Amino acid sequence: MNPSARDARAGDDAREAPAGEAGAECERALQTEMRRQQALLRALFDPRAALPAAAELRVDASRLAWQAGLDAMRGNARSHAERALLAQFPTLQAMLGEAQMRALCAAYWRARPPRAGDLAGIGAELPDYLGRLRRLRAWPWLRDCARLDWAVWQLQYARPARLGAQDLQALALHDPARLRLRPAAGVSELDSRWPVARLWLLHRSPGADGEALRRALEQGAQCAWAWRGPEGVQCEALDAAQRRWVRALRRGASVASALRSAGPGWDFAAWLQRAVREAWLDGVEAC
């Protein structure tokens, strides 16, 4: 290697070394900041967590000032969590009443603290938590009503249905034994021993009273069908044929096989017309 080449290579090495050191330093700073944010989230959202040192979070304050500030932030976080839960479980709130629902939110916060700063998912474990509470065992339908509330809440995050004219054309032109319908992301079904769809609807009616609720509970088991359509979120109970049909579609059966599951008398044309109008389907595909 001639001297000029050696000099050029040495210059390249000199430029690369600082760049590598800067990258490593940047990575260390990023990891430190991530640890700081995780510690702050634990301190805010987990009331059982040990108080982190102010220095760990790079907070320039005395111990007492840091404790007071953290208590204020925790109170604010609990308030945000409570508002999120009230929005996610409106049927449950209507059944329990505001005071009891707020007490439940506080107990749930202590038992199942959030694992992330995004409170959109805070209620995921609330239905199962309800099922374990002895004081609510006299009202066993509350858990399934909460499950339906949670399913309905999640529909708002589902992407829109993508059924197009070409899908309907494929249905008209091809063998139904070789096609299947793909349910949209914005639909949900929920089996229950209780009339959860009827209870969901009653608790959105300003005229509902205790007698109406008592009669509703006598209806027994229901399969609730909820969806996000052009007119917002709606819910109704599926009859036996509809339930068999929907279950067949969800397990990927062909249109012909799903028709057999639904049984004689199933009006596929009427269902399809409504499915298109209410955005229940995402598409038609070959089996």
Closest Cα partner for 219 from 244, 198, 248? 198
Q: Are 22 and 49 in contact (CB under 8 A)?
A: no
pLDDT at position 116 over 80: no
In whole angstroms, what is the distance from residue 238 CA to residue 225 CA?
6
pLDDT-wise least confident of 24-33, 171-180, 210-219: 24-33
What is residue 216's predicted lDDT score, i.e. its pLDDT?
84
What is residue 80's predicted lDDT score, i.e. its pLDDT?
83
Residue 222: other Cβ atoms inside 10 A: 25
Closest Cα partner for 262 from 278, 281, 249? 249
Confidence of residue 26 (pLDDT cuts 50, 70, 90): confident
pLDDT at position 201 over 60: yes
Confidence of residue 22 (pLDDT cuts 50, 70, 90): confident
Angle in degrees, 0-180, between the axes of helices 141-155 and 63-88, rounded to the nearest 10: 90
Q: Are 155 and 228 in contact (CB under 8 A)?
A: yes
In whole angstroms, what is the distance from residue 223 CA to residue 148 CA?
10
Structure tokens at 68: 């007071």
Q: Are 14 and 6 in contact (CB under 8 A)?
A: no
Name the range with the highest mean pLDDT among 4-13, 32-41, 253-262.
Answer: 253-262
pLDDT-above-70 percentage for the chain = 77
Q: Could you give the domains of the chain? A: 165-286 (3.90.930)
Torsion of CA 90, 94, 99, 105, to 10 degrees: -30
Handedness of CA 268, 189, 195, 204 (dihedral sign): negative
In whole angstroms, what is the distance from residue 235 CA to residue 155 CA?
11
**Across 75-90, average pLDDT:** 86
What is residue 55's predicted lDDT score, i.e. its pLDDT?
52
DSSP single-letter state for residue 139: -
What is residue 257's predicted lDDT score, i.e. its pLDDT?
97
Q: pLDDT, tens digit, for every residue of 99-110?
A: 999 999 999 988
Which residue is associated with the tokens 């109970």?
Answer: 237
φ/ψ of 161, rounded to 5, equals -65, 150
CA distances from 221 to 75, 184, 191, 230, 239 (A): 41, 25, 8, 28, 11
Confidence of residue 120 (pLDDT cuts 50, 70, 90): confident
Residue-by-residue DSSP string for 200-231: HHHTT-TT--HHHHHHHHTT--EEEEEEEETT
More confident: 23 or 286: 286
Q: pLDDT, tens digit, for every residue of 205-231?
A: 776 677 888 888 888 899 999 999 988
**Ramachandran class of 121: left when φ > 0, alpha when ψ lies in -120 to 50, beta otherwise:** alpha
Which residue is associated with the tokens 């069908």?
Answer: 225
In whole angstroms, what is the distance from residue 147 CA to residue 103 CA?
19
Identify the three-state secondary structure at position 270: helix
More confident: 3 or 185: 185
In whole angstroms, what is the distance from residue 118 CA to residue 48 CA?
19
Handedness of CA 182, 187, 193, 194 (dihedral sign): negative
pLDDT at position 127 over 60: yes
Confidence of residue 162 (pLDDT cuts 50, 70, 90): very high
**Across 1-28, average pLDDT:** 58
Which residue is associated with the tokens 């399913």?
Answer: 151
Considering the chain, what is the average pLDDT of its residues?
Answer: 83
pLDDT-wise least confident of 15-19, 38-42, 139-143, 183-187: 15-19
**Across 180-204, average pLDDT:** 94
Confidence of residue 67 (pLDDT cuts 50, 70, 90): low
